[in-house]
Structure 1
Amino acid sequence: MDFTITREDWSLHRKGEIDARRHQEKVREAICRRLAEIVTEESIILSNGQRIVRVPIRSLEEYRFRFNYNKMRRVGQGNGKTQVGDLIITGRPRGQGKGAGEEPGIDYYEAEVTIDEIANVLFEELCLPDLKSDRKMQAAVDALEFSDIRKKGLSTNIDRKRTLLAVLKRNALNGRPGFHDIRPEDLRYRTWNPRISSEAGAVVIAMMDTSGSMGPFEKYIARCFFFWVVRFLRTKYQNVEIIYLTHHTEAREVKEEEFFQKGESGGTRCSSVYRLALEIINQRYPPDDYNVYAFHFSDGDNLNTDNDLCISLVQELLKVTNLVGYGEIEGPYYYTSTLKTAYRAINHPRFVTVTLRDKGDVYKALKTFFGRQQSRNEGAS
């Protein structure tokens, strides 16, 4: 009789899984390195949020021996007269220097990532600051869990273990022990129940300047910020309402679609949007029941005669909100006397301002307003 003895390396079966895990780690590292650039990607902001983004990633080479690198006579060997610390060969880094260059570059490829993957990385360290749990609690469905067993249900939800026990029990009671003669009444089905969790109610008031001084760059920066704010709130919180306010010399409440598509026109009177925000809070969201947050983005080109009223209204907002954030966008025409300059008179721990000079500052603003207390203090200007 012939026998065949084989030995199989089972570690090779996990190589695909290991390579896939390493690929995901490299994709995550690439997203983290380019996060400030990715969050302002035009294809994301101007789309419905379902686009796929390409992120360049350095390729990894497997370990292998290399001989006669760059056609050198020997590799790693001297002439026998070298001392410790002597320089064996000089050269310049690859890809540097003038001219077309003869050195090989570093290979990389572009990995496709979804908006959800980017959001998971971006939202890891973000949260609503100073969220108080003593506000009005609202019930929300957190998840669905299979926590009940019934005799009726979907065939795909059959609980095999409990069905087997029911058959064994019935046959034993009838004096015929064993697993046989399965009947419809023996079937057991797993049934799901919603898991209810309570969450403190919160409201976020998004205020955006749509006056004539808000050019394409300023408007795009403001929309980038609020695009990620809306996605962040809907991803991590279930009981957060968002109020959209736009203003020029007058302010009004608009729908979400109009908020992100409205053009610019007219002069600027920022006090109008603060006054409207206070009216909405007092009428619909009493501070004793809600955590209230207010964020205003503008280019700061406000009427000088209106600045004192803005300071007074912001101080009123601070009495009924958890946080008031103001983001000022510096466009190509920078004015030394802006609303941010007037706001230096406000010294309050829950009033945070940021200045945005380029697209990368959108990520800084998100970290400043929604990061930990330490990062907000460091990012505030």
Structure 2
Amino acid sequence: MTRTVERDLRRFNEIVRGKIRKDLRRYVNHGEMIGRKGRETVSIPVPNIEIPHFQHGQKGSGGTGQGEGDPGQPIGRGEDEGEGIGPAGNEPGRHIREVEVSFDELAEMLAQDLELPNIIPKGQDSIQAIKNKYNTISRTGPNSLRHLKRTYKQALKREMASGTYQPERPIIIPGRDDERYRSWTSVPQPQANAAIFYVMDVSGSMTDEQKEIVRIEAFWIDTWLKSQYDGIERRYVVHDAVAHEVNEDTFYRVRESGGTKISSAYHKVDQIIQRDFPPELWNIYIFQFSDGDNWGEDSQACTKFLTDELLPVANLFCYGQVRSPYGSGEYIKDLKRILEANDNLILSEIDSKDGIYDSIKLFLGKGK
């Protein structure tokens, strides 16, 4: 019976995950689950799922709700009935269930659907994490770690050595000196870490719709990269004509005005790398989002700084140009001039939310 239930549960979970995978592009492009994320799971509305239920046997001889009843006595309403307002309809209801999915499962689905390769961290994994392994025996320790087999073996050895062991009456009573406990050693392990930079133009030409596109894409990028690295550090940089390092909440809410000078953001990112993330120890990812509007004389300085400073230390530098009714969209043309010489530079043009899915695949599809 237990095996049957477990098999049915596994099958049901496979059906649920199959429906999520089927609609993954819609979830990605429109951000339906971003507001439903917790610490470790995401709540996803999945329609048209038949929930397993008990099948009752034959009617018994008694119980609540049974009996002859009196003439004219109304039947009680069920808990799940509606209010009964309006005429009867002939269409089936739309059943939607909230399904909890872990971020690891979500990353796996994303990888399968987008055919994302696993990332190979660059350089040496120089940052060490300490892991305790219970692989030794100690003469002291808490009762919860007492090793019963070793304790009785030690007591047996003691009695045999002292000549007190009686084979015809093999009763072993361990003493305090016989007690043995599991113990551990601390083993340093390589720990691959990633520093992720999100850079966004917040000048007046970037609307709330463009920022929503950035927020959705950043969520999925985070989900994938967290599945590839033990440690993730994020930094957020916003800029108009001047760049500032901000927290995540400010990154998505701030609205500025004035001109645009992208090079100020590049210099700010470089300062943070030098301060917090030595390139020989960290895998560095930079995701920049803009509508492509930049002060004309600044674009040449940007491409030079990218080529000389940021691209040599970054695993990936991804530029996403979001279509805006106000921005000129010219900056991506300047980046295309250095694209061929830098295989870690990836460019994406995002016309609307429907372009998020393809942009993520373009950014992460190289496995760098």
Q: Fold match, TM over 0.5? A: yes
CA distance in 2 between counterparts of 1:46 and 1:25 reads 21
Task: Please name the residue that 2:14 is paired with.
Answer: 25
CA distance in 1 between counterparts of 2:111 and 2:185 reads 28
Q: Say if 2:244 and 2:268, in contact at 8 Å, map to a contact too.
A: yes
1:122 Cα deviation after fit = 4.7
CA distance in 1 between counterparts of 2:139 and 2:48 reads 53
1:361 Cα deviation after fit = 3.6
Q: Aligned with 1:147: secondary structure?
A: strand
Query: Pick from 300, 323, 329: which aligns with 2:322?
Result: 329
1:357 Cα deviation after fit = 3.0
CA distance in 2 between counterparts of 1:324 and 1:186 reads 62
1:77-156 to structure 2, matched below 5 A, reads 110-116=97-103, 118-122=105-109, 129=119, 131-134=121-124, 137-141=126-130, 143-156=131-144
Structure 1 position 203 matched with structure 2 position 195: yes
Query: Pick from 153, 158, 170: which aligns with 2:158?
Result: 170
Q: Say if 1:203 and 1:293, in contact at 8 Å, map to a contact too.
A: yes
CA distance in 1 between counterparts of 2:7 and 2:242 reads 58
1:194-343 to structure 2, matched below 5 A, reads 194-199=186-191, 202-282=194-274, 285-316=277-308, 317-331=310-324, 333=325, 337-343=329-335
Task: Please name the residue that 1:352 is paired with.
Answer: 346
Deviations 1:290-320 (A, max 9, x none): 4433220112233344333333333232233
Which range is displaced more, 214-223 or 281-290? 281-290
1:233 Cα deviation after fit = 4.2
Q: Say if 1:45 and 1:227, in contact at 8 Å, map to a contact too.
A: no
The structure-2 alpha-carbon separation of the partners of 1:229 and 1:196, relative to structure 1 and needing over 3 Å to count, comes to farther
Task: Please name the residue that 1:368 is paired with.
Answer: 362
Structure 2 regions of 5+ residues with no counterpart?
54-88
Task: Please name the residue that 1:74 is paired with.
Answer: none
CA distance in 1 between counterparts of 2:180 and 2:95 reads 54
1:106 Cα deviation after fit = 11
1:328 Cα deviation after fit = 1.4
CA distance in 2 between counterparts of 1:157 and 1:128 reads 39
CA distance in 2 between counterparts of 1:340 and 1:371 reads 20
CA distance in 2 between counterparts of 1:280 and 1:309 reads 19
The structure-2 alpha-carbon separation of the partners of 1:121 and 1:34, relative to structure 1 and needing over 3 Å to count, comes to farther
Q: Say if 1:298 and 1:329, in contact at 8 Å, map to a contact too.
A: yes
Q: Aligned with 2:311: secondary structure?
A: helix
The structure-2 alpha-carbon separation of the partners of 1:145 and 1:264, relative to structure 1 and needing over 3 Å to count, comes to farther
CA distance in 1 between counterparts of 2:143 and 2:359 reads 51
Task: Please name the residue that 1:54 is paired with.
Answer: 45
Q: Say if 1:328 and 1:355, in contact at 8 Å, map to a contact too.
A: yes
Q: Aligned with 1:38: secondary structure?
A: helix
The structure-2 alpha-carbon separation of the partners of 1:204 and 1:109, relative to structure 1 and needing over 3 Å to count, comes to closer
Count residues with an aligned counterpart: 322
Task: Please name the residue that 2:84 is paired with.
Answer: none
Q: Say if 1:54 and 1:112, in contact at 8 Å, map to a contact too.
A: yes
Q: Give the root-mean-square deviation of aligned CA atoms.
A: 3.7
Which range is displaced more, 294-303 or 273-282? 273-282
Matching residue's letter, 2:144: T
1:8-19 to structure 2, matched below 5 A, reads 12-19=1-8
